[in-house]
Amino acid sequence: MRRQSALFGTVLLSSVALVASCAPSGGPPELSPKTATPAADPLRGRIFATLPQSKLDLAPAEIVLKGKHHGKDLADGSACEGCHADVAAGFRGSAHAFASFNNPMYRAAVDRFRADVDHDKSRFCGGCHDISLLVDGAMDKAIEPSDARAHAGIGCRTCHGIEEARIDGNGSYTLSAEPFPAPKPSDPRSIAAHKARAATPALRTAAICASCHRAFLNEGTGNAHHLIGQDDVTPWQQSVFAGSRVHALDEEVAEQDCRGCHMPRVRAERGDPAAKEGKIASHAFLGGHTWLAAIRKDPDVLAKTRVFLEGSVSIDIAAVIGADGHRTLPADGANVAAGERVVLAVALRNERVGHRFPGGTMDAADAWVEVEVRDTNGALVAEAGLEHEATGDDPTAHRLRALQVGDDGKPRLERQTEQFRAPVFNHTIPPRGAQVVEYGLEAPAGVAFPLRVIARLRHRTRSLPVFHAACEASKSERGKAFRAAGFDLDGCTPEPVTKVAEADAWIGPGSAGRKPKKPGKPRWRRLYDHGLGMIGALQERRDEAGPSLLAALAEAEATGEARPKAVVMAALALLASRQGRVDEAMGWLDKVTPLAPDHPAIPYLRGEALAQVWRFEKATPPLAEAAARAPGDDAAWVMLAIARGSAADARGALDAARRGLLVQPRDHDLLRVQALSLAALAAPEAEVTAAWAAWQKVRPADGIPRVKAKCSREVPGCALERSPVHVHPLRMRR
């Protein structure tokens, strides 16, 4: 989907990659993008550079304050609770309510950051976690446990006071100090005035969430160079959930924005006046915060959060690969003999999460795969990942996480964000994406066949290093003081573990008569998911997607339905494209067209296939069609901008780059294409200089490959994990 690097004339394209059990939000998502310079029609008038916002008063936070704010007012939600009882009840148990120093997880990280870097730079944290402190300048000073502002979370007056939200991140919103007029039940005009102030248009856009759920690091945050931080927004923008259907021809999936998933309509049991037809938008903001619910001793929220997680990602025993290379697809009934070494392939699919799973701070999240092999009597023969729950560092566990390392190539596991130098790998799964992980098994002599293979995906909110840091902070004198002054939250509360998905298969002699748990998807989907995951493998293994996809096509044809066939054929086209077989890719897309006429993935895949083999002039028209049909998808604009620039169309490249910058203001490829285009168009020197300066600030640092290589050499398991599809050995238990 995305590319690693790009120049005009030299293009390298590669595939890209709060949990959500989503419901439609009732309308198309809105981003309301804003930039620092006009961009309505970038080709009219003078030629100028579209630049990220800069020179902010509270930098590195991107927040803009309008009027005179007082932290104590922002922290006080009592006036709101008096009327909005249902909203307040949901909010009190939410992660937003415990986003500040009152949360031991956050406090451990921010206190260490402030001690190791400085107080001023912690405004970066304050723009989204500690607004009540930030507006008073208190983030520049010591924070006392007795300060009520440090216990405020993200209160009513913050979100409902946002006048404008921008998608840049790091708290990119404008907060108005205009008072909230109190409504009088008998006065319709006062009620209307209250609604007009409290229900700002920004609340109905995804940009208000994007302003904080997208983050970036740079010198202003204590880092050596620009890095992308937490970012749930970009994967969503590039997904079907946001209305972008260009990257894959998928099954029918309903669009929904952040609110549709995390703020579904719930019954107002307390008579909240904001209710419509007896329902309000949930302010519980359910996601993956099972640990917070446990710390708060709230079994109701814990149960709801677990339900929210369960089934959001699927898992399957997708294949058994014999020593001779023979494949059983799917794994059920595979012929395995005693003493034979086989590889078990497990496929994971992000079914309904509108961003990556797990999302948020992916370096601190903890989701992992466990595999068990049991004999016919149920005795454990081999396993992988079963020790991870207790140790947090089981080398056989496949973990869905991103690894950040320091300049020494060593992992930074406790949210030491200012020490981050390079993202080494990212095994989280994008929306509707698939991932394959493999396990090596040598069936022991004398084992009682058939064998039952069980795979499960498990989740807890934070990794054990983060847990231990929060626990230690909670036990400190400062931690005890915070607990005494506000909510008694014990950071040493054990983390709940949730089983997100489970699957099983019987293999070996006698397996034909055994029935596994039925997977919740048809056979063609099981085969397709494995093939889709293998497309993400390194080029040397990518061809292994072919057998699964061809088998999936046969099963799809047997259904007699057009959509499954189109889905699989489009994946076969993508596979051919990624392998440089452009004519084959076009052939598959020709077959897809009558099955899914007018689907936007068809022109995009045509354009990508042509761009892969440097046929840029031919690639531009279909890519332009696709980008126009996915205007909020930055990846589509990147592909088009690069193709146009490589075809010597500087004006077209500049237009595409600017359109992409509306939704991704700090994308290094878009900023580079813009600078190259401005130079080619003989723009004023000041504009070209400013454009290059903007690119220099965000371009990938030259030292990143060196740091990654150091990790591969010196950190056990790092080299293995850098391969998208790799084999974990199963530990023998008999």
Q: Per the structure block, which two tokens stand in for 404?
A: 């950040």
- C-alpha–C-alpha distance, residues 314 and 352, integer Å: 10
**Which residues on neighbouring strands pair with residue 321, listed in sequence order?**
327, 343
Supply the pTM of this predicted model: 0.93
Among 234, 357, 362, which residue's Cα sits nearest to residue 667? 234
The SS3 call for residue 404 is strand
Q: Would you say 488 and 102 are in contact if contact means Cβ atoms under 8 Å apart?
A: no
Q: Per the structure block, which two tokens stand in for 700?
A: 């990938």
CB atoms within 10 A of CB 390: 9
One-letter identity of residue 455: A
Among 300, 267, 250, which residue's Cα sits nearest to residue 94? 300
3-state helix, strand, coil in the chain (%, to 5): 40, 15, 45
Instruction: Note the CATH number of domain 313-459+500-522+707-732.
Output: 2.60.40.10
Region of 659 (left: φ > 0; alpha: ψ -120 to 50; beta: rest) is: alpha
Q: Which H or E element spans position 695?
A: helix 685-698
Concatenating the DSSP letter of every residue in 174-220 gives: EEE----PPPBTTBHHHHHHHHHHHS-GGGGSTHHHHHHHEEEE-GG
CB under 8 Å to 712, separation ≥6 — which residues? 718, 719, 722
Burial class (CB in 10 A: 0-12, 13-18, 19+), 410: middle
- C-alpha–C-alpha distance, residues 132 and 120, integer Å: 15
**What's the Rg (C-alpha) of the chain?**
26
- C-alpha–C-alpha distance, residues 649 and 653, integer Å: 6
Q: Would you say 67 and 84 are in contact if contact means Cβ atoms under 8 Å apart?
A: no
CB atoms within 10 A of CB 540: 8
Phi, psi dihedrals of residue 315, rounded to the nearest 5°: -135, 150
pLDDT of residue 46: 57
CB under 8 Å to 264, separation ≥6 — which residues? 23, 281, 282
CB under 8 Å to 323, separation ≥6 — which residues? 340, 341, 342
pLDDT of residue 357: 99
Q: Which CATH class is domain 536-701?
A: mainly alpha
Which segments of the chain belong to CATH 2.60.40.10? Answer: 313-459+500-522+707-732
Among 131, 222, 208, which residue's Cα sits nearest to residue 164? 208
- C-alpha–C-alpha distance, residues 446 and 338, integer Å: 7
pLDDT means per 10 residues, the chain with 734 residues, are 38 31 36 36 61 88 97 95 96 97 98 97 98 98 98 97 97 97 93 96 96 97 97 98 98 96 97 96 98 98 98 98 95 96 99 98 98 98 99 98 98 98 98 99 96 98 99 98 96 99 97 83 97 98 98 98 99 98 99 98 99 98 99 98 98 97 97 98 96 98 98 98 98 92
